[in-house]
Amino acid sequence: MSERGKQYRKRAVLVIILALPVSIYLTAILYSGEINFNSLQTIGPVEIVENEDGTFDTIPYHIPDFSFITQYGDTVTREDMKGKIYVASFFFTSCPTVCPNMNFHLKQVHDRLIAFKNIYFLSHSIDPYDTPEVLRDYAKFDLQLQNSNKWIFVTGEQEEIFNMADSYFLAASEDSARADHGGYAHTEKVVIVDWEGRIRCRRDDDGNVIGAYDISQAPDISVLVDDLRVLAKEYTKVTMGI
């Protein structure tokens, strides 16, 4: 072997020696959870069930089954969202007040987390005018989402949409007194739903469960991003059996 070849070999060995401890440390962190986050809370009424041996289990709240039509004319159900983490919200495309600001902020969250393959967004329109074609144009032209399949816009029977808002502990309804809001009233908050259909959130600094995230507020947007990352890490550990 030439003298230059020997030098390259020595350098390669040195790089491996230096990198090995770092690799071992990072692997240990992944499997041990040394760098960890508090697991997000589940919210909603729990169910207590008695087992055959007389012991009891606590079953956390899960969102009910649903079936809605997407901007592409497909059907999406709760089963389709199994294995996904998603942000649920309510809006309508002709909203003259809060919706543009809401979805502008959600777009920021979407763009910051686009690399996370299991994080999605599910936005329910509360206006029957929002057909799949209208929703598709809104996603494409208003939000520039033509290159993303991570944000699903849905429509359906209006009463079912309103009932779905209730199941997320959010607010959405018709309100004829709110003509300045397009005749509808809905929350500016969103919720996180995990891969099993459970609503998840963090506790605030005082230990209170926050429930939903107000995406009209800049601090809540950062909190939402952080908590989605936390949940994505938790899901990775669950799927790896750690």
Percent of the chain with pLDDT over 70: 81
Tokens 């790896």, located at residue: 240
pLDDT single digits (tens) 184-213: 989 999 999 999 999 999 998 899 999 999
All structural domains of the chain with their residue ranges: 1-36, 41-240
Domain 41-240 -> CATH class: alpha beta
Q: Give the mean model confidence (pLDDT) for residues 124-133.
A: 97
Residue 68 has pLDDT above 50, yes or no: yes
pLDDT single digits (tens) 74-116: 999 999 999 999 999 999 999 988 999 999 999 999 999 999 9
Instruction: From 189, 239, 235, select the one nearest 37 (Cα to Cα).
Output: 235
Q: Give the mean model confidence (pLDDT) for residues 214-231.
A: 94
Q: Mean pLDDT in the chain? A: 86
- pLDDT, residue 48, reads 94
